[in-house]
Structure 1
Amino acid sequence: MNQDVVLKSEIKCPECGYRKVETMPTEFYLWRYECARCHMLLQPLQAECCIFCSYGSIPCPPIQLSNEKDGCRCYKK
């Protein structure tokens, strides 16, 4: 099945609420991200694979392509 992958996701900082749209990498998981406003270093929440699955509006590309009905065990929104 051909599935379109969305590469833009809006990250929301849990500390200050700042939102920024970022392009997601397709070859690796992003494990660290610095908020542009408050400079808090974001890391994935427990049991999640990357900052996009933890703080983004769209899950990362590997999760989007997952064959599981709910995407992946780590994507719980």
Structure 2
Amino acid sequence: MQLESTLTCPKCGFQATEKMPTDACQFFYVCKGCGEKLKALPGDCCVFCSYGSVPCPPIQQNGRGACCD
């Protein structure tokens, strides 16, 4: 299981590699490039599933629908 994901800001394109929480969903993330507050897209459980290079640990382990039910 991968615990780091590279988030890409849809506004400015800035990328940052972040450690993903294993025990909670991260609904918001503030871009370190432009300060935009990113939130999970409809249908996604967290910002890593919406903007990351790797989905969150619960999705990696159990598939879509396994996180934050």
Partner residue of 2:64? 72
Report the Cα distance in structure 2 between the residues aligned to 1:36 and 1:20, rounded to whole angstroms: 8
* Counterpart code for 1:59: P
Q: Separation in 1 of the partners of 2:40 and 2:24? A: 14
Normalised to the residue count of structure 2, the TM-score between the two structures is 0.91
Does residue 21 of structure 1 match 2:17?
yes
Matched, 1:40 2:17: no
Q: Which amino acid aligns with 2:28?
A: R
Considering fraction of residues, name the structure with more strand. 2
- Structure with higher RCO (Cα < 8 A, 6+ apart): 2
Please tell me the residue identity of whatever aligns with 2:44.
E
| Higher relative helix content | 2
Runs of 4+ in 1 over 2 A off after TM superposition: none
Percent of residue pairs bearing the same amino acid type:
46
CA distance in 1, matches of 2:59, 2:34: 28
Secondary structure of 2:22 counterpart: coil
List alignment gaps of at least 5 residues for structure 1: none
Q: Which whole-Å deviations, capped at 9, do the CAs of 1:21-52 have from their partners, x for residues lacking one? A: 00000000000100001000000000110000
